[in-house]
Chain A
Amino acid sequence: MAQETTTIRATFPSLEWFQALKDIVNGQEAYRRIGTCDTTMGIKIPDLQKYYVVTFEAFEVADVREATEDEVEDCDFWLEAPYARWKEMLQNIRANGKADLHHTLNTLDLEDPEGFARSHDGLRRDAFYRFNQSLQFFFDASAAIDTVFVQ
């Protein structure tokens, strides 16, 4: 999926960055065509103590918000990796227009013994697989953001 030209500059991680991503995704018909996606996904960057919750509902990203660690762990699943890993993934997406095979959500998950996608519930974690194409689209859309990294 080729991404559109850069229209916004935002700092990662920040609510502003996730809000920009939400707006980009919601403006793309290709995202709707993948089909409905209903899940809550947590974002956890432990070394920066940064936590976000992204809510996917029907054909759109319904909400993004900053959250506590407990709220993130209450999601269907959360994506957890050190800041450097997040940065590497997003830089790869920016450079290629989308994640290459070594930086997709699935690959990052498979390479981490604990999993990139985690959950306290074996059923709810499966949302990571069920909606994987939509979730990958979401992060791939960050290619259109001129991301400034905090470190």
Chain B
Amino acid sequence: MATVGGARRPPPETLEEIHMSQQTTEVPEELARLAQERDFPLDLVRRALALGFSPGAVRAQLLRGISPQEAEEFLAQQERLRAGEEVEVPEEITQMARKRRWPAGLVQRALRAGFRLSEVRAMLDAGLRFDQAERLVIIRERSQERQREGGEGRQRRTELPWMNVRTEWGVRVRPGKKGLTLGSLNVGTYGDVPDYWPYQTEMPRGAYHNPGAPPMGYTIYEKAELWADNAADLYEEAIQRQWKPATAIPWDDIAALPEVQERALAQLCTYLCQNALVCSDVIGRWLKEMSYGYHEVKVYMATAGFDYARHFDVFRKRAYLNGIGMGRQSPGYYLRVIKDARRWTEAATLLFIFNSSYVLHLCQVGYYAAGSEGDALIFRLAMQDLARQTAYGVKHLQYFLMRKPENREEVHTCLQRAESLFAYEDDKDPTLQEALIVLLGGGLGEEELKRGWALLNYFRRRWLRDYLRRLEAAGLPERRDRLFPYLRQWAPAPAAAR
């Protein structure tokens, strides 16, 4: 609300009201003197005040040396906008905005918030994405609101201290095509995710610190130790694409495979159940270590934990469905390495890149051997969840390596440990391998076992290829040359499946 001469009145909304307002607006004496000294027309000062700009803001512009011509252009634009008119945007700027995929209307909004056309052009030239530009616009809009806010409003707030906290109020978020998403709330100061989170309490980011709150014992306070730029989007994706094992799978239509294959599938499902439980434990162990400054990662991890619960559920159901039930436990040597990780980045790299790549390839085997649409759907949906988890793992490792290049060797060391213990387990306990061979080959005959063995090697080559490509995308291309020797047998490009 514009306050002129101490009395509150609504801001002028039509050109006529604006002109009337200009005639009645008084210019503070000090400001009038400054304008005179700068040879700046008093009429322009009056127009700025009538638009609701504070005397302080006008003074700052005069001290900055704004020319009457610049001021005239800006004020005329603002008057048109306030009167509800659109400002003509040069075609060149419209084209640039379209090229940068800015939503329609953002340029007009920026101008309405007080940006000059030259400033909007500079934002586009600098390659600002729409969300980055929108943050600047929101900050400017908020600043405008504060300028227009009367003293009466401020005074009222001092009576209720919690209404007077120094958080950023007035931030507005508009739902987009995906609704009101977690990531879309990251505007204004709320979009600033600090490199270090200074609070040991459960204070959400953006809230005002309460000095009496007790520390909660988190241990991860550094952004580089857990951040991934895609975490908020992955969270939305996870909750949007969630599925329910009890009803999403056409259980009644899943006929039993021939008995040996059904047993092999149950063994695969047993392994996947065990693996999912361990992964769920690992996330639970680390979730409580993550401080509240990085809620995007925390809430995404909550969904990842739920994914694993769902995988445990669906594979257990599939093992029991046709009367087989659980098979033999896996030794779980390499899973111990993930459980024993002493740093989240280490745990996340092993969990979401090494293990998810491996489990994804097991699901590919399951899909390939599926005898019904129901079985295929189980593995397809599980793969969707696992691929989302690799997306976090890759982006986090990428972020970590960019900020902590000195820890590169540490990442190799933990991968080496997991790869070597996987090799030990694979070599010493053939349970899963044998089950996969039977499943892929279709039986226990010599030819079937040969076929199963060839197909298992085919799928393992695909696994190694995808694992190394994900590490390459994370910024670790040299892992290809440092792969644990046992795994190198599958490293070459895959040969034909049939």
Hey, which bits of chain A sit against chain B, CB under 8 A? Answer: 34-36, 38, 57-60, 101, 104, 106-107, 110-113, 115, 121-133, 136
Q: Are B241 and A36 in contact (CB under 8 A)?
A: yes
CA distance A123 to B387 in the complex (A): 9
Measured between beta carbons, the chain B residues less than 8 angstroms from A126 are 387, 390-391, 470
Closest 6 pairs between A and B when the two form their complex, measured CB to CB = A122-B469, A35-B241, A129-B387, A35-B240, A58-B177, A123-B473
Q: Are B364 and A110 in contact (CB under 8 A)?
A: yes
A133's partner among B384, B386, B388 (CB-CB below 8 A) is B384
Given known pairs A35-B241, A36-B237, A106-B367, the reply for A122 and B394 (CB within 8 Å) is yes
Give min CB distance, B140 to chain A, whole Å.
28
Given known pairs A111-B498, A132-B383, the reply for A104 and B376 (CB within 8 Å) is yes
Given known pairs A35-B241, A123-B395, A131-B384, the reply for A113 and B494 (CB within 8 Å) is yes
29 A-B pairs (CB sep. < 8 Å): A35-B240, A36-B178, A36-B237, A36-B240, A59-B178, A60-B177, A101-B372, A101-B373, A106-B380, A107-B368, A110-B364, A110-B459, A111-B497, A111-B498, A113-B458, A113-B497, A115-B462, A122-B472, A123-B390, A123-B395, A123-B473, A123-B474, A125-B466, A126-B390, A129-B387, A130-B237, A130-B391, A131-B384, A136-B380
B384's partner among A110, A121, A123, A132 (CB-CB below 8 A) is A132
In the complex, B495 has a CB within 8 A of chain A = yes
In the complex, B370 has a CB within 8 A of chain A = yes
In the complex, B266 has a CB within 8 A of chain A = no
Measured between beta carbons, the chain B residues less than 8 angstroms from A132 are 380, 383-384
Q: Are A129 and B381 in contact (CB under 8 A)?
A: no
B470's partner among A112, A123, A130 (CB-CB below 8 A) is A123
User: What 1/0 flags go to B377-401 for Cβ under 8 Å of A?
Assistant: 0001101101110110011000000
Q: Are B178 and A121 in contact (CB under 8 A)?
A: no
Q: Are B493 and A129 in contact (CB under 8 A)?
A: no
Chain A residue nearest to B381 (CB atoms) is: A133
CB-based A-B contact count at 8 angstroms: 92
CA distance A60 to B176 in the complex (A): 13
Given known pairs A36-B240, A36-B241, the reply for A113 and B178 (CB within 8 Å) is no
Measured between beta carbons, the chain A residues less than 8 angstroms from B368 are 107, 110
In the complex, B202 has a CB within 8 A of chain A = no
Measured between beta carbons, the chain B residues less than 8 angstroms from A34 are 241
Given known pairs A101-B376, A111-B497, A113-B493, the reply for A123 and B383 (CB within 8 Å) is no
Question: In residues 382-423 of chain B, which contact A (Cβ within 8 Å)?
Answer: 383-384, 386-388, 390-391, 394-395
Measured between beta carbons, the chain A residues less than 8 angstroms from B395 are 123
Give min CB distance, B237 to chain A, whole Å.
6
Measured between beta carbons, the chain B residues less than 8 angstroms from A104 are 376
Q: Are B376 and A106 in contact (CB under 8 A)?
A: yes
Give min CB distance, A32 to chain B, whole Å.
10
Q: Are B177 and A129 in contact (CB under 8 A)?
A: no
- Find the residue from A110, A111, A122, A128 having the highest chain B CB count within 10 A: A122
User: What 1/0 flags go to B333-375 for Cβ under 8 Å of A?
Assistant: 0000000000000000000000000001000100110101100
Q: Are A113 and B495 in contact (CB under 8 A)?
A: yes
Give min CB distance, A125 to chain B, whole Å.
7
CA distance A58 to B237 in the complex (A): 10
Measured between beta carbons, the chain B residues less than 8 angstroms from A129 are 360, 383-384, 386-387
Give min CB distance, A96 to chain B, whole Å.
11
Give min CB distance, B130 to chain A, whole Å.
14
Give min CB distance, A80 to chain B, whole Å.
16
Chain B residue nearest to A134 (CB atoms) is: B241
In the complex, B434 has a CB within 8 A of chain A = no
CA distance A149 to B301 in the complex (A): 47
Give min CB distance, B349 to chain A, whole Å.
14
Give min CB distance, B92 to chain A, whole Å.
24
CA distance A111 to B466 in the complex (A): 15
Chain A residue nearest to B472 (CB atoms) is: A122
User: What 1/0 flags go to B152-179 for Cβ under 8 Å of A?
Assistant: 0000000000000000000000001110
Q: Are A121 and B473 in contact (CB under 8 A)?
A: yes
